[in-house]
Amino acid sequence: MIISKDFPGGNISVISVDGDRVLLANEIRDTTQDWFYWAFHVTGCAGKTVTFDFSPKAWIGYWGPAVSHDLKKWAWGGETAEDRQSFRYTFGPDEDSVYFCHDLLYSTERFERFAREKGLAVSALCLSEKGVPQPLVTLGDGSDTVLLTSRHHACESTGTYVMEGILSELCERPIPGVKVLAVPFMDMDGVMAGDQGKSRAPHDHNRDYIDAPLYSSVRAVKALAERENVVYMFDLHSPWHLSGRNDVAFEVRKNVDMRPAQVRFGALLEAECRKAPEAFQYRTENDMDANVEWNQDTAMNSSSTGFFAHRAGVRVCFSLETPYFGQPDNIATQDSLLALGRCMARAIRAAYEKGV
């Protein structure tokens, strides 16, 4: 059996292999608190049943690990122990190469292929700290700009599926007068390296909207804010691993003065979701107002939405949190998250047409 993290997004440490039981841990790297992301590749197990054990950490989701054979299609699989510290997987007789991940991994390669297939205009937002061009999608040419971002926190894959759904809908049916700018990978290096990305030392990309940002992508987005007429800004995230609020989709609002517009937008998004049962469902009752729980202005003003929600001209801005797993009647899958993105696009159109 060979267990590897040698692929984009890979993150694992093998502690021990004892027969058909493997003890593993995820790599925290420069994250300053405990976090849950992991992804690994297994070869040489065809026909065997193997237990992958993360104990004492319960870093397996409700529906088991995400399983893939090509890093493109991901589905929930395996048999998860009740304590969610381990899962067992039976490899088919010809199943010799399998990827397992904490969540529905969304790779930079997937986005490149998507952009190619849709004929999207992709330019370089900037070069990452490692010298990699970071994609910026430009869609439409109106005088009002809708800005979308994801992966301020590298591991938060669900937001990029939502972004893909938004862009799919809007390239098929553009909104007259609107230009969409989308940055799928704010922390490009972290996504490729399989970092947690959340709470990096000394701070992560979503605490970098300060006078002198550390990260080139944040400097580039701030420059873009200066030259574009941004009217809506949506930053697409995934929440904590699971439980409670982390199992539902919700707006995280900044700037109480913007609350009426955020509430109107939430109602429009909920209405679109109710018309699309295939979509991961969002309900506005789950939204989080400014200065509730961890969403305190004092801590969040250096976040992307803290920055944009207080800018002149920006009418609607929030983070949208979409769960890694969801609930039994509302499960996060590649398709349900893409469909939620399409609902989001329709809500953007409805809001724009109503002058929200």
| Nearer CB in complex with Zn ion: 145/157 | 157
* Shortest Å distance, C-beta 178 to Zn ion: 26
| Nearer CB in complex with Zn ion: 59/99 | 59
| Nearer CB in complex with Zn ion: 156/270 | 156
Amino acid at 355: G
Interface characters, 213-252, with Zn ion (x: CB under 5 A): ------------------------x---------------
Whether 225 contacts 183, CB under 8 Å: no
* 151 near Zn ion (CB under 5 A): no
Q: How many residues bind Zn ion (CB under 5 A)?
A: 3
| Nearer CB in complex with Zn ion: 180/300 | 300
| 76-80: long-range pairs with CB below 8 Å, 24+ | 76/331, 76/333
* Shortest Å distance, C-beta 22 to Zn ion: 29
| Nearer CB in complex with Zn ion: 52/111 | 111
* Shortest Å distance, C-beta 108 to Zn ion: 18
Whether 33 contacts 199, CB under 8 Å: yes
| Nearer CB in complex with Zn ion: 65/197 | 197
CA–CA distances in Å: residue 290 to residues 10, 265, 294: 35, 16, 9
* Shortest Å distance, C-beta 237 to Zn ion: 4
Partners of residue 180 on adjacent β-strands: 139, 146
* Shortest Å distance, C-beta 6 to Zn ion: 26
* Shortest Å distance, C-beta 131 to Zn ion: 25
Please state the length of the chain: 356
| Nearer CB in complex with Zn ion: 102/349 | 102
| Nearer CB in complex with Zn ion: 144/321 | 321
Longest CA span, the chain: 63
* Shortest Å distance, C-beta 155 to Zn ion: 9
* 179 near Zn ion (CB under 5 A): no
Q: Quick one: which of 238, 120, 130, 270 has its CA closest to 183?
A: 120
Q: Which residue has the tokens 């609930």?
A: 327
* Shortest Å distance, C-beta 167 to Zn ion: 20
Q: Which among 18-26, 148-156, 173-181, 264-272 is the span making contact with Zn ion, rule CB under 5 A?
A: 148-156
Q: How far apart are CA 316 and CA 264, in angstroms?
A: 10
| Cα four-point dihedral sign 344, 346, 347, 348 | positive
* 153 near Zn ion (CB under 5 A): yes
Give the pair of three-digit tokens for residue 328: 């039994």
CA–CA distances in Å: residue 283 to residues 182, 253, 286, 288, 334: 24, 14, 6, 11, 19
Give the pair of three-digit tokens for residue 231: 């009217």
Q: How far apart are CA 264 and CA 283, in angstroms?
A: 12
Partners of residue 249 on adjacent β-strands: 282
* Shortest Å distance, C-beta 238 to Zn ion: 6
Neighbours of 24 (CB within 10 A): 21
- Helix (H), strand (E) at residue 305: helix 304-308
| Nearer CB in complex with Zn ion: 80/158 | 158
Sequence-distant (6+) residues with CB within 8 A of 108 are 8, 135, 184, 185, 188, 191, 192
Binding site for Zn ion (CB under 5 A): 153, 156, 237
